[in-house]
Amino acid sequence: MNAIVKSMIANLHVKPDEASELVDEVLYGMTVQIIEDIDESWVRIQTAYRYEGYCQKANLLVDKTKTDTWRQEANHFINQSFADVLQQPLIQSAKMTTLVKGSIICSLAMEEIDPEWAAVQFVSGETGYVRRQWLQEKISVNSLPEQQLRENVVQTALSYLAAPYRWGGKSPLGIDCSGLCSMAYMLNGVLIYRDAKIVDGFPIKQIAVELLQKGDLIYFPDHIALYIGDDHYVHSSLGGNEVNINSLNELHPLYREDLATTITAVGSLF
């Protein structure tokens, strides 16, 4: 059975228990497949990027037909860290909900409204309004040339700078190392593995360290970072408490010896 996330963020746990480890977050409007019905409160799900965990049913709209339609019609995502969706296209209007960066929404064509605003449809079918500049067209499959994609992935990752570190997190409210890297690629139409390792069946392949280019991934023991060029990388670091930039150059003030000397692999989409 297929379902759509209807909460701002749906937590994905290692067990059907709120107190168990958070392994991922699935954002509003993302679709999932229910692979096991656990009890009246919990289901085991698989995300579109083939990650599995336990989610509370209250976070989901379970309906195959609506999910299939949503996949076809939900054509934009939120590109702002946080975006309030309002009842009317007026800044004074009441808030219906807040969505985080990466949330998927259906944009509606309404020519009569102020061009600064966009009408959007919720999973529930309700209509709200959001600043048009906070919407970006969803990229289902990347079609950009290599260098443009590399640059876009880097810029997407950098847009999360200063977001706090959160184990299992995947939004500006809190994000972990692999959450940052996977979102940087996902928002550009490429689904990579959610955790800090290279896995067969996903598009990232190991390359020689000397071939490292902007947009490639650097793997460390239980950690991952995205290379942004000039010996620098961006990552969500527990040691740094947030998404920040460090250097592989031992002469640079942002150098972190604990990471620069423990690289286990470099991965690339190309």
Query: What are the catalytic residues?
Result: 177, 223, 235
Q: For residue 133, give the DSSP letter.
A: G
- Are 76 and 138 in contact by the 8 Å Cβ rule? The answer is yes
| 9 beta partners | 27
Q: What tokens were used for 45?
A: 């799900």
Tell me the pairing of strands 76-78 and 135-137. Answer: antiparallel
Residue with tokens 């989409």: 269
- Burial level of 14, CB count in 10 A (0-12/13-18/19+)? middle
HSE-up (13 A, CA, CB side) for residue 187 = 29
The b-or-e profile of 182-198 (16+ CB within 10 A means b, else e) is bbbbbbbebbbbbbbeb
User: Dmax over Cα atoms in the chain, in whole Å?
Assistant: 58
Spatial neighbors of 170 by CB under 8 A, at least 6 apart, are 24, 25, 26, 27, 102, 176, 179, 182, 183
